Amino acid sequence: MAKNMQHSASGCADLGQVLKNSSRARTLQKPSSQIRSQTSSFRYRTPLPLSVGAVRFAAYSGPTGDALPLLARKRTVSVAACGRMESGGPVRMELGFAEEAPAWRLHSEQFPSKIGGRPAWLSAAGLPGPAALACSRCGRPLTFLLQVYAPLPGRADAFHRGLFLFCCREPPCCAGLRVFRNQLPRKNEFYSFDPPSENPPSKTRESVCLQLKSGSHLCRVCGCLGPKTCSRCQQAHYCSKEHQTLDWKLGHKQTCTQDRLDHTVPDHNFLFPEFEIVIETEDEIMPEVVEKEHDHEITESMGDAPEEELDSMAKHESREDNIFQKFKTQIAHEPEQILRYGRGTEPIWISGENIPQEKDIPDCPCGAKRIFEFQVMPQLLNYLKADRLGKSVDWGVLAIFTCAESCSLGAGYTEEFVWKQDVTDTP
């Protein structure tokens, strides 16, 4: 289970410039003499779902019939190297951005990467149950945050592969986090062997799909497994008593006695807004450039300070400041990024505090080590509309670690590990 570490990160007074006026950044101020202008090299992004570059399997090549990722073909870079050039060159991370998309593109059969709404489950069997999707702190149902479609080239058993992240959004908790991995071979009982159509279906769904091909029923409120049934109509399914009560108040009380339950469900104000995650490869930022920019900013901020003061400031420049500066510089070219994917690489931390050591990341139950796969950035908070008076969903970095072997455990969902690094507003 994730360790949700709360701490205050020092040296974060200029975070507001990096996060582009996010709700958390509005309370953070910075002396005008230190403000750097930041621009976004916002290029056109094709709305393809993120999958480590393994975007869709619309085309195939290779003697084994493995899916060849579209982005990999375009960039001629090996995604099997987990975001790193095969020649040992610089790391190329995949950056995720939130974009609006037609509803049909976010359905399971399109293998989407997406934010919010209901989960687009990969396997229709072995879904995590209500106990697995309950907050470990307050016990209430978790809310679906996002999913990433991330198949592994060369792995027949992971031709389709998805990671599903959930969080607690119920105050005063807003702390629980859980992530699950699921993978399927190309030939399976749920999806066609052939790639999905890139064209919209002739008939669009008029209601939410609340029953999977496996026969499993989904909760009307959250879209997760719904083993509980309304005792009156025997048609409405729920994951918990909390969600049954919520749905009863918001409309099921009036429709319960209908012969056939209407699957057009009301807005329960429980789900996050829904977006597609589109991808772009991060531009190279050479380490020496980062250091040079950092030194220039420090010198500029010192101005004409006395020599003794300069010496003192130089001696006390902390590791904390260096780490935050690296974070700020790394995202400056694409400040709207909400996700960074690089399986087997390293996350960028927002603070020098609460960085996990190897011993802090538990091994997979199969015995293999877990490795970093992707991180969720604080910029995503801008899209969630989750701000409330008092406590609400918040984080600095969410780092997701998964089994290095991506062990195959049938059609079920395997829990992986989340490390949460918090940033609290500084006075």
- What is the pLDDT averaged over residues 308-332? 74
Share of the chain above pLDDT 70, in %: 66
Both tokens of residue 360?
């802090």
CB atoms within 10 A of CB 72: 18
Look up the pTM and report it: 0.77
Contact 383, 339 (CB under 8 A): no
Q: What confidence tier does 322 reach under pLDDT thresholds 50, 70, 90?
A: confident
How far lies 282's CA from each of 43, 90, 263, 376, in Å?
Answer: 11, 11, 42, 15
Can you list the positions of beta strands (E) in 136-250? 143-149, 160-167, 177-184, 228-229, 237-238
CA–CA gap between residue 379 and residue 337 (Å, rounded)? 7
Contacting residues for 2 by C-beta, under 8 A, at least 6 apart: 176, 177, 178, 179, 417, 418, 419, 420
Question: Which pLDDT does position 408 carry in this prediction?
Answer: 84
* pLDDT one-digit tens code per residue, 244-293: 989 998 888 888 877 666 667 888 889 999 999 999 988 754 444 444 44
Is pLDDT at 303 greater than 90 in this prediction?
Answer: no
Is pLDDT at 183 greater than 80 in this prediction?
Answer: yes
Question: Which pLDDT does position 389 carry in this prediction?
Answer: 55
Q: What confidence tier does 411 reach under pLDDT thresholds 50, 70, 90?
A: low
Share of the chain above pLDDT 90, in %: 49
* pLDDT one-digit tens code per residue, 218-251: 999 999 999 999 988 888 999 999 999 899 988 8
Question: Which pLDDT does position 63 carry in this prediction?
Answer: 37
Q: How far is CA 354 from the centre of its chain?
A: 20
* pLDDT one-digit tens code per residue, 7-43: 333 333 344 444 443 433 323 322 222 222 222 222 2
CA–CA gap between residue 129 and residue 225 (Å, rounded)? 6
